[in-house]
């Protein structure tokens, strides 16, 4: 009967394991920091930025919180707007990467600090090409490129234009996969590159403000045609992985030959041995895959606004900007003159010439919904 008694106790214990919600209020000197980025970025902050900043600023600590994804950050932004209206504490001080235009009306509501006026010591070092708004601080960049298995495809034969890529995918059915566009930027930016392709290779054709439903239907519809046409040649006749990591996993297991990847993530995967050192990387030369700078935001109504600004200044320092190159595999947010000379030389090859970008906001929702409705189900798969 001992076995059955064990059974009752374990069942009761398992049922009793209820997660108690954390009722926190912002503490003095603790910066509430949120990110929607992948775990490599979170690890970079936990292992590199946080210890360095806390050592340099005794009495200030950073509370690192993973908000999940961009929408998670937006939700916290909405909370900050509500807190601003009621004059309460938003319990958030720093967004690792977001767009100050989100949630809609956030700048007008005055929840973000204007960096142009904040008097940060290092603000003048920021790469002018990377500045998108006075309310956001570009501090790291990364770009999507194509990673491939050189044992199946020689570097010399790798496609370098979108048309060559499409031809290669069709000639090698089942050897390419990209992730669902809302579940990770590598697949998301492959989809956006297709939208650029379908609309005359002109990234400036799309801005946050020029979204209209008619324009979106027309512009995106052409891209859905290209992607739906590609679907039967993808892995498993049109399967889509559920995130950046899963795509890399399929490449590392030798299931597919080529996947779109984030530059920082693939460099880290190679560094850690997840992918072999011979993994090939190629960027399209007719128009690069989208990417962009990640821009930090500081909440104006946060309880630790001044400490958060110190942190914002700190991440532009040479120490952290160099670490972004060496530890994270990203591009620095400051101009290359402000990176140490030996690093400048070592990473000369990956210095991006251009980084096309795609606006977020209403476009993001339209792309996410349109892709799921028009591309994802449009497959005839036998199971």
Partner 1 sequence: MTDSAGPTAQRLLGSGADTGNSRRPVGLLLVAVPVVLMAWLIIWPIISAVLRTVWRADDTGAHRFDLSTYAFFFSDQYSLNNLGITLWTTGMCAALLLMICLPIAIYLRFATGRLAGYVQALAIFPMFVPSIILAFAFIRVLGPNGMVDILLNAVGLPKIDTPYLTPWGPVIGLVWDNIPLTVLILLAGLGAVPNAAIDAARDVGAQKWQVFWYIILPRIGNSILVAISFSVLGIFSAFTLPYVLGPASPEMMGPFMQRTFRDLYDPLNALTQAVITFGFCIVFGLFYVRSVARNQGK
Site for partner 1 in 179-198 (CB under 8 A): 180, 182
Measured in Å, how far apart are the chain's first and last C-alpha atoms? Answer: 45
Strands (E), 263-354: 280-282, 291-298, 331-332
Q: How far from 42 is each of 16, 24, 45, 58, CA to CA, in Å?
A: 31, 21, 5, 22
Is 236 a binding residue for partner 1 by CB under 8 A? The answer is yes
By three-state DSSP, how is residue 146 classified? Answer: strand
User: CB neighbours of 46 closer than 8 A, spacing ≥ 6?
Assistant: 64
CB of 101 to partner 1, least distance (A): 13
Single out the segment in contact with partner 1 by CB under 8 A; choices: 54-62, 70-78, 222-230, 341-349: 70-78
Angle between helices 244-252 and 263-271 (to 10 degrees): 40
If binding means CB under 8 A, how many residues of this protein chain bind partner 1?
A: 35
Contact assessment for residue 40 and residue 270, using Cβ atoms and an 8 Å cutoff: no
Is 278 a binding residue for partner 1 by CB under 8 A? The answer is no
Single out the segment in contact with partner 1 by CB under 8 A; choices: 37-45, 198-206, 235-243, 282-290: 235-243
Out of 43, 54, 69, 319, point to the residue binding partner 1 (CB under 8 A): 69
Out of 52, 107, 164, 250, point to the residue binding partner 1 (CB under 8 A): 250
Q: How far apart are CA 89 and CA 107, in angstroms?
A: 18
Is 246 a binding residue for partner 1 by CB under 8 A? The answer is yes
User: CB neighbours of 292 closer than 8 A, spacing ≥ 6?
Assistant: 141, 142, 143, 355, 357
Is 369 a binding residue for partner 1 by CB under 8 A? The answer is yes
Strands 137-148 and 291-298: antiparallel
Single out the segment in contact with partner 1 by CB under 8 A; choices: 207-215, 250-258, 297-305, 319-327: 250-258
CB of 184 to partner 1, least distance (A): 12
Out of 52, 255, 274, 287, point to the residue binding partner 1 (CB under 8 A): 255
Is 30 a binding residue for partner 1 by CB under 8 A? The answer is no
Is 29 a binding residue for partner 1 by CB under 8 A? The answer is no
CB of 15 to partner 1, least distance (A): 10
Q: How far apart are CA 302 and CA 14, in angstroms?
A: 39
Q: How far apart are CA 1 and CA 291, in angstroms?
A: 62
Site map 306..325 versus partner 1, x via CB under 8 A: --------------------
Strands 30-35 and 94-95: parallel
Q: How far apart are CA 380 and CA 368, in angstroms?
A: 21
Q: How far apart are CA 276 and CA 236, in angstroms?
A: 24
Site for partner 1 in 112-151 (CB under 8 A): none
CB of 57 to partner 1, least distance (A): 34
Single out the segment in contact with partner 1 by CB under 8 A; choices: 48-56, 241-249, 294-302, 326-334: 241-249
Out of 197, 241, 301, 317, point to the residue binding partner 1 (CB under 8 A): 241
Site residues for partner 1 per CB under 8 A: 3-4, 7, 10-11, 14, 69, 71-72, 74-75, 180, 182, 235-236, 239-242, 246, 249-250, 253-255, 364-365, 368-369, 372-373, 376-377, 381, 383
């Amino acid at each position: 009967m001992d076995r059955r008694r064990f059974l009752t106790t374990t069942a009761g214990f398992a049922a009793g394991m209820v997660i108690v919600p954390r009722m926190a209020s912002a503490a003095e000197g603790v910066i509430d920091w949120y990110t929607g980025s992948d775990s490599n970025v979170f690890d970079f902050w936990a292992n590199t930025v946080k210890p360095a900043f806390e050592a340099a600023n005794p009495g200030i600590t950073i509370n690192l919180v993973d908000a999940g994804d961009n929408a998670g950050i937006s939700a916290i932004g909405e909370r900050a707007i509500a807190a601003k209206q009621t004059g309460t504490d938003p319990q958030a001080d720093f967004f690792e990467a977001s767009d100050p235009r989100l949630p809609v009306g956030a700048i007008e509501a005055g929840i973000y600090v204007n960096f142009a006026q904040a008097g940060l010591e290092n603000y003048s070092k920021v790469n002018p090409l990377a500045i998108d708004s006075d309310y956001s601080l570009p501090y790291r960049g990364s770009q999507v490129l194509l990673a491939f298995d050189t044992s199946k495809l020689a570097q010399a034969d790798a496609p370098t234009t979108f048309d060559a890529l499409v031809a290669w995918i069709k000639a090698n059915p089942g050897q390419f996969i990209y992730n669902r566009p809302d579940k990770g930027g590598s697949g998301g930016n492959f989809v956006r590159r297709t939208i650029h392709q379908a609309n005359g290779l002109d990234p400036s054709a799309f801005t946050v403000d020029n979204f209209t439903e008619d324009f979106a239907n027309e512009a995106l519809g052409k891209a859905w045609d290209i992607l739906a046409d590609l679907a039967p040649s993808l892995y498993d006749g049109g399967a889509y992985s559920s995130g950046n990591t899963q795509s890399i996993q399929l490449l590392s297991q030798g299931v597919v030959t080529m996947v779109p990847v984030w530059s920082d993530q693939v460099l880290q995967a190679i560094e850690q041995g997840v992918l072999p050192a011979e993994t090939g990387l190629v960027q399209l030369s007719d128009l690069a895959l989208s990417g962009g700078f990640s821009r930090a935001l500081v909440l104006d109504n946060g309880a630790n606004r001044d400490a958060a600004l110190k942190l914002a200044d700190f991440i532009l320092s040479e120490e952290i900007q160099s670490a972004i190159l060496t530890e994270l595999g990203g591009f620095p947010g400051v101009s290359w003159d402000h990176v140490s000379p030996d690093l400048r030389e070592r990473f000369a090859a990956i210095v991006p010439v251009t980084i096309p970008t795609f606006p977020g906001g209403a476009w993001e929702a339209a792309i996410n919904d349109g892709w799921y409705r028009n591309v994802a189900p449009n497959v005839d798969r036998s199971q």
